[in-house]
Amino acid sequence: MVAELLARDMRPRAEVVTSSHCVEKPRFAAIDGHNHLPVPGNDHQRYRADLLKTMDEAGVEMIVNLSGEFGDTLQTILEGYDRAAPGRFATFCNVDWSGVGESGWEGRACGQLRADIAAGARGLKVFKSLGLTFRDTDGRLLMPDDPRIQDVWAQAGALGVPVLIHSGDPVAFFRPLDGANERWDELQRHPDWHFYGGDYPPFEALIESLYHTIESHPNTTFITAHVGCYPENLQFVSQMLDRYPNLNTDFSARIAELGRVPYSAREWFLKYADRIVFGTDVTPTVQAYRTYFRFLETRDEYMEYSEGAPIPPQGRWHIYGVHLPDTVLEKVYRLNIRKLLGLSTRQV
C-alpha cells in the first residue's frame, strides 16, 4: 500500500461505464469562427492542401483565421488562404499597439485598419495582450477602455466589421498557485500563463474594462472570445448579453468550462442561440473537431475532452454533452458567424 502520493503523480481512472458516440461530421456544415493559422511559408501549398483535406473530412466549411496581422503580412496571408481557396477562409486583421501615447497614433492606426479591411480582412481581432502586457510610451499598462485607443473601436463600427476581442483568461490564472487552484496542473505545464500579482491587473479589472468598452461603442459589433471572457460565470455573461445588443460571443477552447455545467450551458445555448459563434482555438484536426461536435450534439456523460490524456489540460474533471436541437445547432455552427461577416446564409 502506498502511504503517500504526490498530486502530480495522481492519475485516477474512472470506472463509470457510459455511452460514447462519435460524431464524425456536424449536423450542419460548421464554420470554425476562432482559429489561428500560420503565415504562409515555403511549403504553404502542401500545408493548405492538408488543411483543406482535414476540413473536408471533419465537415468544416470555413475557418476564420484571427492572426492576419496588418499591412504587407496581411496581404501575404490573404493570398495564401482567402484568395487561394475562396469561401474556405476568412481572415481578421490585427492592430499594432506599439506607440500608443505618441502624437498621431490613433490616426495612423485607424488608417491602417481602413487599408486592411479594404484589402480583404473581414474583421479585427484583439489579443489578450491588450490589458496584460502592452504598454504605452510611458510604460503604463494599456487597457481596452483607454481613451487614447477608442477611435479604433469606433472605426471598426464605421467600417461595419466585427471586433473579436479576448480580455483576461481563465479566472484561476489570476489566483494564487496553491492547492485551491483548479488549474494547478495546467499552470505547472505553462507557468507563463500565471497572471497573479506583480505587474498584472486583477481579473475583475480586465473584465470591467472590456465591458466598459463594449458599452461605450454601441455602434460597433463585438464578439467576445471564450464565452464572454468569463465562462466560469454564465450568469454574468448572460447579463451582459441582455444588456448589450452589440455583443456576441464564441465558446472556443472553453467546452471544459461549459461541459462541467451542462444544465446551465444548455439553457444558455438555447436562450442566446442567435448570439453564439462556434470556434475551437485549437490546431485543426479531425479528432479535435469531433470532440466539439460530440459535446454539442450528444447526451454523452463524463467524457474526456482531451483525447488520450489521463488528466485533461484544463482541470481535473470530465464534461457532459449538451445535445442541442437542430435549430440551435445550425445557428451556432454557421448562420451566426456568416451574418456577422456579412456572408450569405445559403445552405451548402
Q: What residue spans define the domains of the chain?
A: 19-340
Q: Are 37 and 68 in contact (CB under 8 A)?
A: no
Dist CA 67 CA 133 (whole Å): 18
pLDDT at 11 over 80: no
CA geometry: angle at 38 spanning 36 and 39, to 5°?
A: 125
> Rounded mean pLDDT of the chain?
94
Q: What is the pLDDT of residues 241-251, one digit of tens each?
A: 999 999 999 99
Taking residues 200-229, report their average pLDDT. 98
pLDDT of 7: 73
**DSSP three-state, residue 32:** strand
Taking residues 311-331, report their average pLDDT. 90
CA distances from 207 to 168, 224, 241, 301 (A): 7, 11, 14, 32
Q: Are 112 and 84 in contact (CB under 8 A)?
A: no
**pLDDT band, very low/low/confident/very high, at 348 (cuts 50, 70, 90):** very low
How is residue 129 written as a grid cell?
495582450
Instruction: Read off φ and ψ for residue 158, nearest 5 degrees.
Output: -65, -30
Residue of 256, 262, 274, 265 lying closest to 314 (CA atoms) = 256
Enter the pTM of the model: 0.96
CA distances from 29 to 22, 42, 239, 280, 348 (A): 16, 31, 30, 15, 7
Whether the CA torsion 260, 266, 267, 269 is positive or negative: it is: positive
Residue of 273, 315, 264, 318 lying closest to 294 (CA atoms) = 318
For 19-340, which CATH superfamily applies?
Metal-dependent hydrolases (3.20.20.140)
Residue of 235, 223, 300, 225 lying closest to 265 (CA atoms) = 235
- Number of Cβ within 10 Å of residue 1's Cβ equals 2
